[in-house]
Structure 1
């Protein structure tokens, strides 16, 4: 099928011919619909290939390009179908790690729920494709759609945003000026401008040389769109100039930070069935580090970071667990940040980071503020049990913390976020605003086995490093642990299910990026821009319909 047929080369503004039959009801002929459906699916696959696991970063721009071409000039209902296809082609394979040990239903339910947001995006994109400057409005709609699914339902799930695919390259720099939403906007705008160029070139081919105006206006429009698409990454490249480089030690007083990845006895949901073995692994790695320090082979750390679930035995109620943690802290002579499951309050559990001093024992804590629904707590348990009895694997619900996780330890102000919290903009932003000189992500990825989940989560950490100009330390129970420089580059990283110990000098920064100062303003502004474009189409259409009645 030629591009003109697959993409819908007739712009609505140019006056598409009246159709009959199926087309009069808002649907194109089946062959055209099949071509558009394949194009939308290809867009979803292109987005997938840009993400960790494949890491073909430039392909990210082809997702908004393909969807824009597929829905251009179509009715909203057609756009919704094409958006759904694009979303399924992306989210079903991207989120396959969610079903590794719990079966296909939870995985597919989550993937379909996220694809439904892309269906809304497809409908809105089809609507604004009739407007002048539609590439700009469409790119803004991508931001609005990601903002919506990052907040609803149940607090949202901002996983797989376009921006988090850009872990290298020029567009990554834009995170320092507008966070992940601005990076997503840049990716989408590049793609929609490419789509506009394709449409303009197709029009130039179907326009006769003797027609009014000839082919030149279409060719000029194509050149302008291509120039705009090239300008976006060039702007991103220029945006790197004032930003921090790959050094961990520039920008403030340094502290020596050790990261312990103790590993787990086995992957899967039963990784903590032998909870004492997991704790012992982290104690043993710390004791080995202490021996290396005593022998002069490693630098003496000022603080040591253990991952989430490094002690699923509550050290407040279990004297033996407390004694082992104290033993490790005393041996290394530095405070430990322990990831522990703590009893209470009441019938609940708390996913907690505990600062464990080598002399005084447990001190300041941070309780995870965004437990994962259906994984750490089950809302409306009876309702969800109707669909899957896997919800009963969550025997007790975790509570939500209320305090920002800035912890004083070893002369550092550590901003602690736990596991999936790293993908929630506000949870990281308020941690930096509260004075964090470095960021720590405590995580446990053992429940996802040898999948791309760890790589995808690490990608989010790399965006956060650039967004806030901070070193990000990732401590994972079974991998991937990492040390990320303020420019998003990886200084150190571990492999999955392999014990690892890192020791690095890390500057405690107090500088503030533009993104940190603006907060959510860029996201709200871009979302409002997209919503205004939809209203510009919807309001006149409603008035026309009412007058017709």
Structure 2
């Protein structure tokens, strides 16, 4: 019996060409983009790996060079998500994905707008410079829109130490961003041109090191003893203020304990005491008991206390996030009202629309912003107040400095975000602001981290999280304005204008190249008679 022939196995189906192209080309680039963005996240405090930031931009530079704008948008979106998704995880600590992921996506989309423009200018002569300028312009955009902007993820805020920090004293946060980005793009350019890539990779670093002598810490207007009180909260979360009296009592009691230490000679008597934002969510102007407790603390410490309070206006009934200067003899003598309110927290834009997605929006407040940037004057101390979220905004901090301050206070409430990196990111911002404006900074947080920051950005004292504590330090009072303070927004405006000019030039150049040319008569063209053009 003859065995039937064995059928040959059918060949495996061929992978479609489009799928092969995706697996071999697009997918690796997307993975590399996500990894590059994650490297930028890893450069941000509480880690001290600030040097990873230019590496992240080097990855972005390799990916974007010579790409079309559409590819630049897609790659930038993935790179931005790799950076922003882990960076902003704290926003969803107690409200979940509904706040965290949409915010990360919106910010990443704005990053992608910038990377699309970077791809367009990448092939211009000096491409890495134009790309870095576009990044600065994109940060300016993200600091403005939507809802008054969200500058929290600025590159400069990941550089509270290291080579680039001294640049803040000359050109503020935009100059740091430009230096970090151009270093990374210069590294990416090394494979194409050593002559251009090496200077771009090295010069920003050398510039930062060379500007270190401009970061002054001398006390041009004497010194003052400042105390920061961290009273702690009953529990973390959005309902921390459900025990508002407990929060107030915590800060009173910790101040009374500090007064005992002063009396015993353990620490010097402070000239000013700074309490955190929301240290009294009971309006002391309406509640006599709250006022009595604050007055008790001020009389015990024998110094004015800057009290973070929620104050309800008697006219319109709307709350204000206010810092009240409480004198031990005269009671409340001055106020500062927070000017830059946090959307989706202290205010709720388009409340009825966003309620469709979550009823959590009804927990957002109806606060009204202040308008006066001037802080408090206590003897020789002229204290700028930049409450919590305000520290992220260049113009808000600058206005409080130009109003005449010689030291900065950052009262903040981080209890609503639990145990996560938010407080360390905010402390990094305070350190950059110290160098930018040449002022010592006192950070007072309800639950931590509170800190004493010197004008060179160094932290000389700090607290733990969710522990009551008090920091007391003699700090320099500096009336001298840095170049960054004097220049104000001009560095960012100039760099943004240059970026837009480069983009416009690139678009014009592309259109000219795409425009069909009209052949000259007599060059291989036939006339209507069928003979060579130009012939009789």
- TM-score, normalisation: structure 1: 0.89
For residues 41 and 298 of structure 1, do their structure 2 counterparts lie closer, same or farther at Cα, with a shift above 3 Å needed? same
Pair 1:348-2:318 in alignment:
yes
Aligned-residue offset at 1:499: 1.0
Pair 1:77-2:70 in alignment:
yes
Aligned-residue offset at 1:410: 4.5
Q: CA RMSD in A?
A: 1.8
Pair 1:372-2:372 in alignment:
no
CA contact (8 A) 1:255 1:302 kept: yes
Q: Residues of 2 paired with 1:224 and 1:538: CA distance?
A: 23
Ranges in structure 2 where 5+ consecutive residues have no aligned partner: 1-16, 519-536
Aligned-residue offset at 1:228: 3.1
Tell me the secondary structure at the aligned position of residue 324 of structure 2: strand
Q: How does 1:102-121 map to 2 (within 5 A)?
A: 102-121=95-114
Q: Residues of 1 paired with 2:509 and 2:186: CA distance?
A: 26
Q: Which residue in 1 is equivalent to 2:142?
A: 149
Pair 1:437-2:406 in alignment:
yes
Q: Which residue in 2 is equivalent to 1:239?
A: 211
Aligned-residue offset at 1:223: 5.2
Q: Residues of 1 paired with 2:67 and 2:269: CA distance?
A: 64
Q: Which residue in 1 is equivalent to 2:353?
A: 383
Q: Residues of 2 paired with 1:224 and 1:311: CA distance?
A: 57
Aligned-residue offset at 1:475: 0.5
- TM-score, normalisation: structure 2: 0.91
Structure 1 residue ranges (4+ consecutive) displaced by more than 6 angstroms after TM superposition: none
CA contact (8 A) 1:405 1:417 kept: no
Q: How does 1:13-52 map to 2 (within 5 A)?
A: 30-52=23-45
Q: Residues of 2 paired with 1:371 and 1:82: CA distance?
A: 33
Q: How does 1:301-340 map to 2 (within 5 A)?
A: 301-340=270-309
CA contact (8 A) 1:303 1:410 kept: no
Q: Residues of 2 paired with 1:95 and 1:548: CA distance?
A: 51
Q: Which residue in 2 is equivalent to 1:6?
A: none
CA contact (8 A) 1:367 1:401 kept: yes
Q: Which residue in 2 is equivalent to 1:217?
A: none
Q: Which residue in 2 is equivalent to 1:358?
A: 328
Pair 1:228-2:200 in alignment:
yes
Q: Which residue in 2 is equivalent to 1:5?
A: none
Aligned-residue offset at 1:389: 1.4
Per-residue CA shift, 1:432-485, capped at 9, x if unaligned?
A: 111001000010000010000000000000000000000011000100101100
Q: Residues of 1 paired with 2:38 and 2:439: CA distance?
A: 33
CA contact (8 A) 1:37 1:70 kept: no
**Which of these residues, 256, 259, 275, is aligned with residue 244 of structure 2?**
275
Aligned-residue offset at 1:335: 0.4
Q: How does 1:394-405 map to 2 (within 5 A)?
A: 394=364, 396-405=365-374
Pair 1:529-2:506 in alignment:
no
Aligned-residue offset at 1:548: 8.8
Q: Which moved more, 1:417-426 or 1:57-66?
A: 57-66
Q: How does 1:457-472 map to 2 (within 5 A)?
A: 457-472=426-441
Aligned-residue offset at 1:429: 0.5
- Rg comparison, structure with higher value: 2
Q: Residues of 1 paired with 2:233 and 2:506: CA distance?
A: 55
**Which of these residues, 137, 150, 168, is aligned with residue 130 of structure 2?**
137
Q: Which residue in 2 is equivalent to 1:408?
A: 377
Q: Residues of 2 paired with 1:382 and 1:441: CA distance?
A: 33
Q: Residues of 1 paired with 2:64 and 2:220: CA distance?
A: 48
Q: Residues of 2 paired with 1:545 and 1:353: CA distance?
A: 60
Aligned-residue offset at 1:53: 3.1
Q: Residues of 1 paired with 2:379 and 2:328: CA distance?
A: 11
Q: How does 1:413-428 map to 2 (within 5 A)?
A: 413-428=382-397
Per-residue CA shift, 1:29-52, capped at 9, x if unaligned?
A: 552122221221121011000001
Aligned length in residues: 501
Q: Residues of 2 paired with 1:453 and 1:531: CA distance?
A: 33
CA contact (8 A) 2:435 2:457 kept: yes
Q: Which residue in 2 is equivalent to 1:174?
A: 167
